[in-house]
Structure 1
Amino acid sequence: MNSASRPARPTHRGLWLMVATTLLAAGCSTPMDPRKDSQLHSAAYTTDRPVVRPTRSVSSFSDSLMCMDHMLRAAQLPTTLITSKQVVDYSSRVPVAVKDMIITSLSQMSRLSNAFRYVDYEVDIVRQDTVQNLTTILLNNNQMQLQRPALYVSGAIAFVDQNVVTNRFGAGTSASRLDTGYSSNRTATVIGLEMHLGDFRTRTLIPGLDSANEVVIGGGGQGLDVAGRIGSYGVNFNVGRDYALGTGGAMRTLVDLATVELVGKWARVPYWQCLTLEQNHPDFQRQMRDWFAESGGVGQARLVQSSLIAQGYLQAGADVLAMDSPALRTALAQFQVDNLLVPTGVLDFSTYERAMRHFVALAADGSLQRVGWGPSGPTSTLAQAAPVRGAARGLALTSTEGLPRRIDMQIENTLPPGVPPTFEVGEQVFASVTVSRTSHLYCYFSDPAGNVMRLTPNNVNTHSLVGANQAVRLPDWMVPNPAFVMDATSPGVERVACYASDDDALARLPAPLQGAGLVTVPGYRGLEDIDRAFTQGLGEGRFSRAELNWQVVPRKAPPPAAPQPAPASAAR
């Protein structure tokens, strides 16, 4: 019998294929039981969650917005209603909510100054939501009043020039048993944003109040390929790394810059001082990131601890070098709240950068250098200041056991510069107060006769805890029905004093001061009695105090009316 008549013998590969086919057929013949996968399914709850903590969205000009807020507050500008149009992207390549970024920028510039209130009214039917529909119904039935804004923001993403600059490089080698290849590429895309400020009453764009800026976003990559052969087997190896700068962060940077420019030009304040901060330099955060990575865990804790002590969040000499120290976590969480960060109590890069940015600067070579550091760490730049008497501004800074807290009070009425604040009887007075750290705040009013009442907290605003650098309005003119109004009552000197402490102070004050707000406190005459009560209840130096006062004068008599001519029909 020849070899062609012999039966074919299965190879090893054929045997394995037959076994796999048999097992697969057996497995598919019965339905799968999901209960057997319950342990796997239970992990989906946690696997679906992010693996890193969220962080505050910031741009290169976030500090410029805060700087503008202080500048607008110092200029004592009245609150202005503002709105904005939808910012159109004609390129359809930047899917970013620019209008909401504008709202955030305006809000950041109004935390202290109350410079702007945004009128949220959507005219586009397609974008209207339930709130807008209810607003329209109430407006049509004369059950709601909509205040007309004074200004509006208009703009567009003017252009997106993709891959303006492209750099590519590639090289490779080939041999009988080894092939190699290397490639790299870099690209740059330019995005342009133009924004304008308009007068809402006339729907005209104000000449000169415009902003046109561009930003470059880039991308790059590198790749390495290696392929070889060993006998009848082949091996292929590929590795690469890429980066791409996103459009979201670039657009937020452009919007913050444009908003600072428009508001600065409109308010006629030196806004360029807020744009030249070293923190705005693109390399600042990258250098800070390198320093953060190089300092290590213990080094980070020591640096941040020194900064928190200098800024008043930790007591001097506190031994909290451990990263998991409860005292350090509490101080970090408080610091994060005051600096608009996510309050995690964990020392991440955002917290590190915020804590250290006032004690480092960019050197001429682009590296970071230390500034404002004493022998053992950062030195606070805050200085002692007494309350300003008889002025439209009250400022106080106390320092007890290394815990400085700044209170800033200001009369918000438009007053002539360089003239002591004076009001006529019956004229309304508007003031505001801020604290540098989250604190319990208590404000008292004293009339010329010495009668004293607590303005806040009261029956409407019952909480005494206020956030850092958040303007507390006295009265709250932003709401339709404020808890109280401050009218100049009678000729003389009227005074308002505010007290701030770390803990709730009412329970430690005498019983008459624990009563309801906005009523005369029995048995107390003048703010000096309130000072003594706080000193006795909390202790000397355990609270901060600032004061405003103004002169009240009698109302001026209206000028006599001019005699009216006799009617023509009565003339003889």
Structure 2
Amino acid sequence: MVLKKRNKGGDLGGSIGLIGGFLDVSFDNNEGVQQALRALIDVALIQAVGSWAQVPYQRCLTLSQTDTGAIRAASKAFKKLKPKEQIGLIAAGLADRGLYPGSPPSELTPELRAAISNFQTQQQLPALGLPTFEVYFALYGAQFGAVSQPLQPVLNPNNRLAIKVSAYGPAFTSGTGEDSQPIAILANDSRASFAVSTARDAHILCYYTDAQNRTTKVLPNSQRPSAKLRPGETLVIPGPQDIFVIKPEVLGAYEYMSCFASAAPFEGVLPAWLLADFTSANPQIPATGPDDLLAMMRKYGPPDLSSDSLKFLRDCLAPGKNSLGPC
């Protein structure tokens, strides 16, 4: 580990030698020698513990993509940008993924902070809502040669775009339905949340079907006018920016979250009534349940359409049981 003065202005830099490369850190004079030493010692400890545990040090850091050369190249590019340019690029990257509506701003707005926080949660980064290098690298790392690390859930590669809908959060448990098939069970009086992932770049369309087989489009919506996913990313429904919640009212009745993926946007392909947003005057689309919805999507949807549906119900489990009984 080496700490050295870089120029007459007193800027400090350090390097930690690694097999096949090194990690650079730098601090300006205002941050002081103590902060530089502290950071270098922290990273050295991460490296030491990682070596002892036989885990590459990069996997101990918060970056979701761990190519050392790509990190260094992206870091140099990021530091050359002015703060306004950093904010603009991060906003543009989030907009491209359907996480931020509108044009990129020149300053950190509350809307952009919320979008960044949501993306950080998806990437398993601290949800600070700030335009950090980690956010920039998660968005643009592939341009510098980084290889993304896919996140859970594991997807079925035989499912074209391999879309997957999963129960999200501690309110869900696994159980067995009346047909002996596994289902997701939502704790009584809890709100439901879902995670959507794909194995390839895709546009996403999701619908919620309640206990009365009323089906409503929930994504995209007015808060998230477009929904795009890349491998390793996750969309959460409802997200922090959404103004609706999903809370089943009928005990023991099956409900569904159905999602569809396509490499191209659904607009201009599907009939307008399948893309209608939820409003008080138009609360649902004319589908009589998830099977009817799937038939409509196969009839009108794009040829590369892939789909997945999660079947769930509000808690009917007896204490200590993992199969359903009378409600």
Which residue of structure 2 aligns with residue 537 of structure 1?
A: 300
Which residue of structure 2 aligns with residue 213 of structure 1?
A: 47
Query: Which whole-Å deviations, capped at 9, do the CAs of 1:171-192 have from their partners, x for residues lacking one?
Result: xxxxxxxxxxxxxxxxxxxx95
Counterpart of 1:483 (choices 243, 248, 258) is: 243
Counterpart of 2:213 (choices 431, 439, 450) is: 450
Within a 5 Å distance, the mapping from 1:139-538 to structure 2 comes to 157-158=36-37, 192-194=40-42, 211-213=45-47, 256=58, 258-259=60-61, 340-341=139-140, 351=145, 354=147, 395-398=155-158, 404-414=160-170, 419=175, 420-476=183-239, 478-479=240-241, 482-491=242-251, 492-517=253-278, 520-538=283-301
In the TM superposition, what is the alpha-carbon distance from 1:555 to its structure 2 partner? 11
Whose relative contact order is higher, 1 or 2, with alpha carbons under 8 Å and at least 6 apart? 2
Larger CA deviation: 437-446 vs 508-517: 508-517
SS of residue paired to 1:547: strand
Number of residue-to-residue matches in the alignment: 211
Which residue of structure 2 aligns with residue 24 of structure 1?
A: none
Amino acid at match of 1:502: A
Cα separation, 2, equivalents of 1:436 and 1:259: 24
Cα separation, 1, equivalents of 2:312 and 2:154: 11
Cα separation, 1, equivalents of 2:47 and 2:142: 34
Higher strand share: 1
1:425 touches 1:490 (CA, 8 Å); kept in 2? no
2:172 touches 2:186 (CA, 8 Å); kept in 1? no
CA gap 1:447/1:416 in 2 versus in 1, 3 angstroms: closer
In the TM superposition, what is the alpha-carbon distance from 1:354 to its structure 2 partner? 4.9
Structure 2: state its 5+ residue gaps: 15-29, 49-55, 71-135, 176-182, 319-327
Query: Which whole-Å deviations, capped at 9, do the CAs of 1:494-524 have from their partners, x for residues lacking one?
Result: 1101100011223222332132236533431
- After TM superposition, the score normalised by the length of structure 1 is 0.31
Query: Which whole-Å deviations, capped at 9, do the CAs of 1:360-380 have from their partners, x for residues lacking one?
Result: xxxxxxxxxxxxxxxxxxxxx
SS of residue paired to 1:211: helix
1:156 touches 1:193 (CA, 8 Å); kept in 2? no
Amino acid at match of 1:259: L
CA gap 1:548/1:396 in 2 versus in 1, 3 angstroms: farther
1:490 touches 1:554 (CA, 8 Å); kept in 2? no
Question: Quick one: percent identity of the two aligned structures?
Answer: 12
For the aligned residue pairs, the C-alpha RMSD in angstroms reads: 4.7
Cα separation, 2, equivalents of 1:157 and 1:342: 26
In the TM superposition, what is the alpha-carbon distance from 1:545 to its structure 2 partner? 0.8
In the TM superposition, what is the alpha-carbon distance from 1:472 to its structure 2 partner? 1.1
Which residue of structure 1 aligns with residue 314 of structure 2?
A: 552
Amino acid at match of 1:489: E
CA gap 1:416/1:446 in 2 versus in 1, 3 angstroms: closer
Counterpart of 1:95 (choices 13, 18, 25) is: 13
1:423 touches 1:550 (CA, 8 Å); kept in 2? yes
Amino acid at match of 2:307: R
- After TM superposition, the score normalised by the length of structure 2 is 0.50
Structure 1: state its 5+ residue gaps: 1-88, 97-125, 128-154, 160-190, 196-209, 215-252, 264-273, 286-336, 345-349, 358-392, 557-572
